[in-house]
Amino acid sequence: MFQVCRSVRNVSLALLTVFTFGFSAAVSASQVSTIKDGWLVMKVHSEFVNEDVLSGSNIDVDVKNGMVTLQGTVPSEAARARAIAVARANDGVKGVTDQLRIAPARDHKMAERAGDKTASVAQKTGRAIDDGWIKSKIYAQYLADWNTVLDDSDIDIDVDNNVVTLNGTVKSAAAKAKAVATAKATDGVKAVKDNLRVGSTR
């Protein structure tokens, strides 16, 4: 009788261990997915920075469970096709939903005559410093800090007439300060509105 009870107890403990391990693995996978989605947003934007064909674009990248959604504007069908191809080529991307709209690129000469000199400044690659470039450039710089202070951050960047607004969450006051300082130091940025919250991104 004692042997039977001990066997039943051992089986129960084994099942409990398997269940607990499985639950922990599920939580871990969920956490990794969340972190990877944020990383993918930054990675896709970082690859938009030096794409000449995307000059005049203003693209929002959203990622959920590896599925990428592209929203915003591009100046041509060629730009749309390139943005989709760049996003799709990243490891971890399961699919790309295209919600991009084609809109004429901003007339940089007119902007310069109006006094907005930053709009006419070009990188060596030929892509102009406009709202879309600024957004992607900031994300690219955040990607470089992903494994240090900005890991586990969930930051949404909006740029309007060279004014940057930061929304979302970061893990610490140091991460918040880093995110704001990086945005302020980016070429073409006139001002930064900090709406970041410190706390868990989960």
Q: How confident is the model at residue 19 (pLDDT cuts 50, 70, 90)?
A: very low
Q: How confident is the model at residue 27 (pLDDT cuts 50, 70, 90)?
A: very low
Structural domain count, the chain: 1
Residues 6+ apart with CB under 8 A from 158: 135, 164, 165, 167
Higher-scoring residue by pLDDT: 167, 154: 167
According to DSSP, residue 118 is labeled G
Please, is 29 exposed, middle or buried when counting C-beta atoms within 10 Å of its C-beta (0-12, 13-18, 19+)? exposed
What pTM does this model have?
0.72
Span of 88-102, 103-117, 127-141 with lowest mean pLDDT: 103-117
Alpha carbons 18 and 96: distance in angstroms, whole number: 36
**What per-residue confidence (pLDDT) applies to 106?**
58
* Structural domain harbouring 178: 2-198
Q: Rounded to whole angstroms, what are the CA distances from 45 to 51, 76, 200? A: 10, 18, 23
Mean pLDDT, the chain, whole residue set = 79
User: What's the pLDDT tens digit per position in 29-87?
Assistant: 344 444 478 889 999 999 999 999 999 999 999 999 999 999 999 999 999 999 999 99
* Residues in CB range of 71: below 8 A, 6 or more apart: 59, 60, 62, 99, 100
